Amino acid sequence: MAGDLFVVVAPSGAGKTSLVNRLLEVERDIRLSVSWTTRAPREGEANGREYHFVSREAFESMIAAGDFLEHANVYGNYYGTSRRWIESELAGEHDVLLEIDWQGAAQVRSLFPRMVGIFVLPPSIGELRRRLTARGKDSAEVIEKRMASAREEISHVLEFEYIIVNEQFDVAVADLQAVVRAARLSRERRAGRLSRLLDEFR
């Protein structure tokens, strides 16, 4: 038996990272996959915590070696998920959570058909633009690029098992936690752990 693989996808500005961070506070036995990237660290980021930061040459060598479960080029920088780490954690019956884009999710699903796909939506396109602008991190040109990417990302929403609208943060957190708990109660997860109990009723 293996752990569950939760894959959370959302357009930039939908609040995915905040939701995931809160989930990890209340569900401490879920392990967050730390992605590898070629982009430079931002202020306050630490290698191995937010990302594993590597050179472009090192990343491309890892691609050639088949080290990534999925990888993508986003705004000129590579991002990827360690195949070995994910397989090891799942084999150890640990639940794992990935924060990736829809393309990465499609790559992961081809290798792990039982993954639990969760898409986080903003309450409206106008609210998404407001959130991106309010962050004060991006130029108007970058915001427009993010809005175009959001429309592309959202066009794939129905490819996911669960859809959460992040309008009220606490409600969205509760919805995300409910998905995790439902997956853990599935027939596949419970059958092995409850085999002795089930045998008593036969």
Beta strand pairing call for 52-53 and 5-9: unpaired
Diameter of the chain measured on Cα atoms: 65
Per-residue pLDDT reduced to its tens digit, 111-122: 899 899 999 999
Q: How far apart are CA 137 and CA 20, in angstroms?
A: 21
Where is 22: in which H helix or E strand?
Answer: helix 16-26
pTM of the model: 0.86
SS3 124: coil
- List of domains in the chain: 5-200 (3.40.50.300)
Per-residue pLDDT reduced to its tens digit, 21-74: 999 999 988 999 999 999 999 888 999 998 999 999 999 999 999 999 999 898
